[in-house]
């Protein structure tokens, strides 16, 4: 009966949507449901984020402040750090971080703490959906017991589902509303409610038979990418030694209209998902008494790429009779991918740590990250993005391109820098001063 009532509220867009975790996944979800007429309440323990949103200001590049102001002015959105208000929402979407711990095992602290907070206010008829990337069985084995400690029963008193986020920050062709949504429910009623919910705001919903299938789907998607990126990273090191341009090889191979998808090398993997998900899978395999050697090897290859870049930098500086120690190195880009302001798991932080350890005189520029943020697993000094001028570029011993933002004028950079180390093939169209450019 309660399920039927909730479904009716969802279909009539009268259900209040609660989004827990107001970051790169949470804000696009708010945008998707708000645009379809739903009222949304955002929850986050970070009071700075809450205050910013309630003031009509965004802190994420692809969600404009003008849009947040619209949310607020409509009276259909507010943000709060008060988790005792979780009972006000009919549907709760969990979009909290799921990082790795120091031993590269899954760290579900935020999922567990959020679930405990929900349990404190859980009321009959609520639908709870986990969107955070995680390993198969998390919804059933981690969340369900916490929620059922309240005495309420999943599928009867409340409803539970999993639907993995599929955000692609910086890609204007794909918004949260325009990417198909995979949904797995704990039981048939939960699946029906979750499918009905996302169908109101998302272009296509793909129901699957269980939460575990939906969880495994996300792991597969990102492990597929990690393994293929590892392949081209390994080929890059081989082809570099042979004097073959791996970028030209990939461009040639992708002319084949079948049987090949282009992946590209780089200085390492970044973002919340691709560097992390394969380790979730290898951890789960160990629990099952199995080893995933292929996936573990891919993780090792990708993890070694920052070290390879530093080795190449040392070689090129050595040709100019310079050691890394004391050399002025300007790193371009600390965001994990081009044209975004998201620094999570960016290989730039590993590069910066290693350059500082070796005694480099380090600076950085990133038009999307003006101040170097504090990162959980990296210990770097406070730094601000330096302006790119003819003088600042000429003063460097090397400019290291770590992230290929579109806003960079690569002709200008190559013209004024004494040496450029390009890890992204960003300078491929630069025709003058080619002698200054090295690939890594």
239-260 per-position pLDDT tens digit: 999 999 999 999 999 999 999 9
Whether 43 is covered by a domain: the verdict is yes
**Residue 287 CA to its chain's centroid (Å):** 26
| 225 in any annotated domain | no
Angle at 259 between CA 274 and CA 272, to 5 degrees: 5
| Residues contacting residue 263 through CB under 8 Å, at least 6 positions apart | 225, 228, 229, 231, 232, 250
* 300 class by beta-carbon count within 10 Å (0-12 exposed, 13-18 middle, 19+ buried): exposed
In a domain, 362, yes or no: yes
| 256 and 293 belong to one structural domain | yes
Domain count, the chain: 2
Q: What is the pLDDT of residue 273?
A: 62
Asked if the structure places residue 217 within a domain, the reply is: no
Q: Which residues contact 256 (CB under 8 A, 6 or more apart)?
A: none
- Helices then strands, counting H and E runs in the chain, come out as 16, 13
SS3 label, residue 144: helix
Measured between alpha carbons, how far is 230 from 232 in angstroms, rounded to an integer? 6
Q: Are residues 367 and 265 in the same domain?
A: yes
Query: Residue 223 domain-assigned?
Result: no
Contact 308, 240 (CB under 8 A): no
What was the pLDDT predicted at 374? 83
Together in a domain, 362 and 398: yes
Domain co-membership, 122 together with 251:
no
Cβ neighbors of 240 (< 8 A, separation 6 or more) are 246, 312, 439, 440
Query: With 80 as the cut, is the pLDDT of residue 27 above it?
Result: yes
Whether residue 214 lies inside any domain: the answer is no
- Residue 18's beta-bridge partner residues? 41, 92
**Average per-residue pLDDT for the chain:** 94
Q: Under a CB-based contact definition with an 8 Å cutoff, are residues 27 and 49 in contact?
A: no
Per-residue pLDDT averaged across 323-332, rounded? Answer: 98
As a whole-number percent, the residues of the chain with pLDDT over 70 amount to: 98
Tell me the CB-side half-sphere exposure of residue 138, using CA atoms within 13 A. Answer: 32
User: Residue 272 above 70 pLDDT?
Assistant: no
Q: 306 and 348 in one domain?
A: yes
Per-residue pLDDT at 76: 97
Q: Would you say how long the chain is, in residues? A: 440
Known catalytic residues are 273
Domain for residue 37, yes or no?
yes
Helix (H, G, I), strand (E, B) or coil at 205: strand
More confident residue, 38 or 99: 38
385 and 269 in a common domain: yes
The DSSP 8-state label assigned to residue 162 in this structure reads E
Which residues span the domain enclosing 98? 2-209
Cα–Cα dist 94/18, whole Å:
9
Q: Side by side, which strands form the sheet with 77-80? A: 77-80, 39-43, 16-20, 91-94, 127-130, 159-162, 181-185, 205-208
Same domain, 102 and 170: yes
Mean pLDDT score, 416-423: 98
- pLDDT in the model for residue 283: 85
Neighbours of 326 (CB within 10 A): 11
CATH of the domain at 295: 3.40.50.720
In the 8-state DSSP scheme, what is residue 298? H
> What's the average model confidence in pLDDT over 147-172?
91
Beta carbons within 8 Å of 125's beta carbon, 6+ residues apart:
2, 3, 5, 6, 90, 157, 158
Whether residue 275 has pLDDT greater than 80 = no
Residue 224: inside a domain: no
The helix/strand/coil state of 361 is strand
**pLDDT band (50, 70, 90) for residue 397:** very high
- Give me the pLDDT at residue 369, please: 95
Residues 59 and 181 in one domain: yes
Residues 133 and 280 occupy one common structural domain: no
**One domain for residues 161 and 310:** no
pTM attached to this predicted model: 0.90
Q: How far is it, in rounded angstroms, from Cα 426 to Cα 429?
A: 8
Q: pLDDT (tens digit, 9 = 90+) per residue, 46-101?
A: 999 999 999 999 999 889 999 999 999 999 999 999 999 999 999 999 999 998 77
pLDDT at 271 over 70: no
What per-residue confidence (pLDDT) applies to 113? 97
**Nearest residue to 180 (alpha-carbon basis) of 202, 151, 147:** 202
Q: E strand or H helix at 77, and its extent?
A: strand 77-80
Helix (H, G, I), strand (E, B) or coil at 110: helix
202 with 235, same domain: the answer is no
* CB environment 411-434: b (16+ within 10 A), e (fewer): eebbebbebbbbbbbbbbebeeee
Residues 110 and 258 both lie in one domain: no
Q: Kindly give the pairing relationship between strand 159-162 and strand 181-185.
A: antiparallel
Could you tell me which residue, 104 or 51, shows the higher pLDDT? 51
Encoded tokens for 261: 């998808």
């Amino acid at each position: 009966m309660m399920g039927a009532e909730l479904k009716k509220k969802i279909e009539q867009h009268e259900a209040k949507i609660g989004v827990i975790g107001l970051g790169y996944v949470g804000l696009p979800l708010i945008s998707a449901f708000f645009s379809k007429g739903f009222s949304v309440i955002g929850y986050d323990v970070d009071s700075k984020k809450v205050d910013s949103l309630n003031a009509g200001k965004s802190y994420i590049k692809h969600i404009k402040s003008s849009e947040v102001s619209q949310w607020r002015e409509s009276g259909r959105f507010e943000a709060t750090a008060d988790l005792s208000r979780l009972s006000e929402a009919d549907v709760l979407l969990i979009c909290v971080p799921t990082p790795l711990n120091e031993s590269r095992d899954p760290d579900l602290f935020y999922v567990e703490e959020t679930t405990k907070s929900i349990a404190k206010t859980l009321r009959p008829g609520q639908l709870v959906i986990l969107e955070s990337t995680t390993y198969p069985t998390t919804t059933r084995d981690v969340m369900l017991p916490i929620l059922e400690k309240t005495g309420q029963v999943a599928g009867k008193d409340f409803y539970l589902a999993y639907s993995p986020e599929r955000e692609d920050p910086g890609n204007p062709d794909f918004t949260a509303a325009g990417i198909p949504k995979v949904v797995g429910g704990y039981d048939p009623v939960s699946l029906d409610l979750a499918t009905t919910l996302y169908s109101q705001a998302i272009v296509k919903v793909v129901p699957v038979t269980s939460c575990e299938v939906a969880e495994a789907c996300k792991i597969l998607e990102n492990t597929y990418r990690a393994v293929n990126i590892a392949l081209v990273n390994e080929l890059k090191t081989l082809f570099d030694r042979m004097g073959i341009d791996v970028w030209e090889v990939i461009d040639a191979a992708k002319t084949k209209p079948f049987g090949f998808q282009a992946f590209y090398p780089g200085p390492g993997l970044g973002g919340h998902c691709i560097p992390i998900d394969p380790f979730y899978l290898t951890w789960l395999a160990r629990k099952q008494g199995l080893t995933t050697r292929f996936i573990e090897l891919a993780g090792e290859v990708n993890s070694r790429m920052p070290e390879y870049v530093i080795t190449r930098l040392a070689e090129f500086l050595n040709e100019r009779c310079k050691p890394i120690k004391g050399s002025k190195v300007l790193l371009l880009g600390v965001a994990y991918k081009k044209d975004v302001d998201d620094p999570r798991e960016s290989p730039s932080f590993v590069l910066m740590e290693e350059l500082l350890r070796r005694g480099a005189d380090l600076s950085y520029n990133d038009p999307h990250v003006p101040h170097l943020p504090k990162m959980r697993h990296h210990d770097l000094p406070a730094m601000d993005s330096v302006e790119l001028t003819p003088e600042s570029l000429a003063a460097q011993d090397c400019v290291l391109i770590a992230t290929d933002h579109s806003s960079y004028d690569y002709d200008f950079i190559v013209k004024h820098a004494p040496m450029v180390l390009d890890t992204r093939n960003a300078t491929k169209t630069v025709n003058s001063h080619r002698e200054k450019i090295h690939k890594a």
